[in-house]
Chain A
Amino acid sequence: MLSSTTGYLILLIFGVFFTGLTIIMQKRRKEKMTAEQFSTAGRSVGIGLASASIIAAWTWAATLMMSSSTGFKYGISGPYWYAAGACIQVLLFAIVAIHLKRKAPMAHTFLEFVGKRFDKKNHKLMMGFALMTNIIVTAMVILGGAIALNSLTGMNIYAAAFLIPLTFTIYTMIGGLKASFIADYLNTVMIFVILTIFATVVYVKFGVDTVYEGLKAIPEQNQMLTMASIPGLFFGMINIIGNFGTVFVDQSYWQRAIASKDSAASKAYIYGGIAWFSIPFAIATFMGVSAAGLGLNIGDPDASAPLMAQHLLGSAGSILFLVMLFMAVMSTGAAELTAITNIIVTDIYRKSINPKASGQQTLKISRIVTLSFGLAMGLLSVLLFKVGIGLSFVYMAMGIFVSGAVIPLTLGLMWKKATSTGNFYGALTGMISGIIVWLITAQVRYGGISVASLGELHSMLFGNVTVFVVSGFIAIGHGLISNQEFDFDSLKNQFHSFDAEQEDTEAKVTKESESKDVLVNG
């Protein structure tokens, strides 16, 4: 085991490195940072950088830890279901991303679109879903990072949970979305490099035959060497449904579409999705499945990846794993933080509090929100630890809370018959009924409501499926019955750049003062 000083050093080194890099880049920029630049990165990002950023945003601590855990528990079906079950959402998101580009080319958040497409009620509800998604994801990312730091270095888990968000908050606050893109690129490349090292070591040190023989020796009922594994399939279904919410309702993915060039938006998601598939597929196969095949004595399957890393390369393996995990944590954390900031600034501050805010005021508020939320997320993660809620539980339960918005949101963007009433009640009833079914299943099937019974596969699966069925049924049903048609072309000129608004205001002020001068002099 590494010393806790190593843990603190890793946090310090990465925090200082990325903050320094952002400051240097800011100084080298020829133009001044504006509110529009801060939140959209100038809408000029190409396919390559956008796909790297999508991969980084979708590579959570859970991608590295949980996927390996499924490989360790369910055998070869685990890595496949983790990768395929969480990759298709990114692929399908390409479709909605390009529709947003067409229908609201100057939007800053997907909620801005919802606000114009539907009524205020829908805007508020979707904002609730979006913020909940960002908060859950950020908390989960921090939980994963803190667990790994604690298990590998013995670093105080509460200190880790509080310090991790601090590292990505500072550089995000300085550089905005563009800084997040650059950090995402570096982090993603590093993750690929480290994963390749681990995979190579498994081949060289143990060989595939040894792992296979080990898996063969595990009792047959564990179904380690077949895709026909029932627990694997159940996990796959929960994974598919739950992850729709965390992509479609998460502003950070919309943000990447908004920041991309028109020609890059859809392709970046397809390429990014296919490339992302390889990360959980490889890590879970080489770390999780191999750990089971090699017969490693692992108490908690969630810790299979770090322990396997240690088994492969000793302390060097632990450090490499920590670095990889920390990079995943930083990029997802920064992506979520910019997403939360964008929502609060665009959909609360500029919409309700100060609609006439200048670009500079907006930029200042953006930075304050980024810092405040970063610190608040650290505190929330500490609280979650205190309550005893862990990574696997949050990962599997999140779909029940956030997926209710997926079908209504997608319909709103792509179907002219979608109605405000249908969407509102679809999303809300979907979530409520999902929670009820989740609780009932835990009570009836496992004899009581507790963190353990709620975390069982059946409770999670029934809750997740109910959310989708109910929300889809109400949203589509009401749209068909009402038979109203929305004109998407009417939205095109309703979104404006923050900078353009500022320029308009400045131009107006100049014009007014000129006309006053004319009156006085004339």
Chain B
Amino acid sequence: MDNNNQLLKDAKLCTRWAFSLTFVFIILFPGIMFITGYEYSLAFFKGWTYLAFTWLIIAGLYTAIRPWVEYYVEKKQA
């Protein structure tokens, strides 16, 4: 597959992801929470903080490790 076709394929994929995540983040989830006017229970609040914490850990690990993996793979290929 030539470079342009690959870029076209990537463009389609990332467009889908970008729009879907945007819809979930700013329409679907806050929309439901706003319309229902739900007030957080203790259990829900706990879940909310666990989500924030877990997300932070996974994102941190991804950010820290991925560049080293790529560096190692590139070095191996070279």
A residues touching B (Cβ–Cβ < 8 Å)? 46-49, 51-52, 55, 76, 79-81, 84-85, 87-88, 91-92, 94-95, 98-99, 101-102, 185, 188-189, 192-193, 195-196, 199, 203, 208-209, 212, 215, 225-228, 233, 236, 240, 262-263, 265-267, 269-271, 273-279, 281-282, 285-286
What would 6 more interface pairs be, CB under 8 Å, given A46-B71, A51-B63? A185-B63, A228-B38, A266-B14, A276-B59, A278-B52, A281-B52
B18 partner, pick from A47, A193, A228, A270, beta carbons under 8 A: A270
How many angstroms from the CA of A212 to the CA of B68 in the assembled complex?
40
Please determine whether B3 and A49 come into contact, CB atoms closer than 8 angstroms. Answer: no
Chain A residue numbers with a CB within 8 Å of B37 are 226, 228
How many angstroms from the CA of A55 to the CA of B64 in the assembled complex?
12
The distance from the CB of A264 to the nearest CB of chain B, in whole angstroms, is: 9
Please determine whether A48 and B45 come into contact, CB atoms closer than 8 angstroms. Answer: no
Residues 1-27 (chain B) with a chain A CB within 8 angstroms = 3-4, 6-8, 10-11, 13-15, 17-19, 21-22, 25-26
Chain B residue numbers with a CB within 8 Å of A285 are 48-49, 52
Can you report 30 residue pairs joining A to B where beta carbons are below 8 Å apart?
A48-B69, A49-B70, A76-B45, A88-B26, A91-B21, A101-B7, A185-B63, A185-B67, A188-B63, A189-B64, A192-B56, A195-B56, A203-B49, A208-B49, A212-B40, A227-B34, A228-B33, A228-B35, A236-B26, A262-B3, A262-B6, A270-B14, A270-B17, A274-B59, A277-B25, A277-B55, A278-B55, A279-B59, A281-B55, A286-B49
Please determine whether A196 and B60 come into contact, CB atoms closer than 8 angstroms. Answer: yes
The distance from the CB of B61 to the nearest CB of chain A, in whole angstroms, is: 8
Chain A residue nearest to B35 in the complex (CB): A228
Also in contact, A274 and B21, with CB within 8 A (given A95-B14, A95-B15, A228-B33): yes
Chain B residue numbers with a CB within 8 Å of A94 are 14, 17-18
Please determine whether B40 and A226 come into contact, CB atoms closer than 8 angstroms. Answer: yes
Please determine whether A282 and B14 come into contact, CB atoms closer than 8 angstroms. Answer: no
B residues touching A (Cβ–Cβ < 8 Å)? 3-4, 6-8, 10-11, 13-15, 17-19, 21-22, 25-26, 30, 33-40, 42, 45-46, 48-49, 52-53, 55-60, 62-71, 74
How many angstroms from the CA of A87 to the CA of B59 in the assembled complex?
14
Please determine whether A233 and B55 come into contact, CB atoms closer than 8 angstroms. Answer: no
How many angstroms from the CA of A515 to the CA of B14 in the assembled complex?
52
How many angstroms from the CA of A195 to the CA of B40 in the assembled complex?
24
Please determine whether A88 and B22 come into contact, CB atoms closer than 8 angstroms. Answer: yes
B63 partner, pick from A98, A189, A196, A209, beta carbons under 8 A: A189
A98 partner, pick from B10, B62, B71, beta carbons under 8 A: B10
Chain A residue nearest to B55 in the complex (CB): A278
Chain A residue numbers with a CB within 8 Å of B55 are 277-278, 281-282
Chain B residue numbers with a CB within 8 Å of A102 are 4, 7-8, 11
Please determine whether B74 and A91 come into contact, CB atoms closer than 8 angstroms. Answer: no
A-B CB contacts (within 8 Å), total count: 167
Chain A residue numbers with a CB within 8 Å of B48 are 76, 285
Please determine whether A208 and B18 come into contact, CB atoms closer than 8 angstroms. Answer: no
Also in contact, A95 and B18, with CB within 8 A (given A76-B48, A102-B7): yes
**Interface residues of B, dominant DSSP:** helix
Chain A residue numbers with a CB within 8 Å of B17 are 91, 94, 270
Please determine whether B26 and A225 come into contact, CB atoms closer than 8 angstroms. Answer: no
Please determine whether A227 and B7 come into contact, CB atoms closer than 8 angstroms. Answer: no
Please determine whether B70 and A48 come into contact, CB atoms closer than 8 angstroms. Answer: yes
Chain B residue numbers with a CB within 8 Å of A233 are 30, 34
Chain B residue numbers with a CB within 8 Å of A266 are 10-11, 13-14
How many angstroms from the CA of A87 to the CA of B39 in the assembled complex?
25
How many angstroms from the CA of A228 to the CA of B62 in the assembled complex?
33
The distance from the CB of B10 to the nearest CB of chain A, in whole angstroms, is: 5
How many angstroms from the CA of A215 to the CA of B48 in the assembled complex?
14
How many angstroms from the CA of A356 to the CA of B22 in the assembled complex?
44
Please determine whether A46 and B56 come into contact, CB atoms closer than 8 angstroms. Answer: no
Please determine whether B56 and A262 come into contact, CB atoms closer than 8 angstroms. Answer: no
Chain A residue nearest to B57 in the complex (CB): A196
Please determine whether B22 and A92 come into contact, CB atoms closer than 8 angstroms. Answer: yes
Chain B residue nearest to A101 in the complex (CB): B7
How many angstroms from the CA of A118 to the CA of B56 in the assembled complex?
42
How many angstroms from the CA of A274 to the CA of B48 in the assembled complex?
17
How many angstroms from the CA of A228 to the CA of B31 in the assembled complex?
9
Also in contact, A84 and B25, with CB within 8 A (given A227-B33, A269-B14): yes
Chain A residue numbers with a CB within 8 Å of B19 are 92
Chain A residue numbers with a CB within 8 Å of B56 are 192, 195-196, 199, 278-279, 281-282
Closest 7 CB pairs of A and B: A192-B60, A48-B66, A227-B33, A48-B67, A275-B59, A266-B14, A84-B25
Chain A residue numbers with a CB within 8 Å of B58 are 278
Chain A residue nearest to B49 in the complex (CB): A208
Also in contact, A55 and B63, with CB within 8 A (given A46-B74, A99-B11, A227-B34): yes
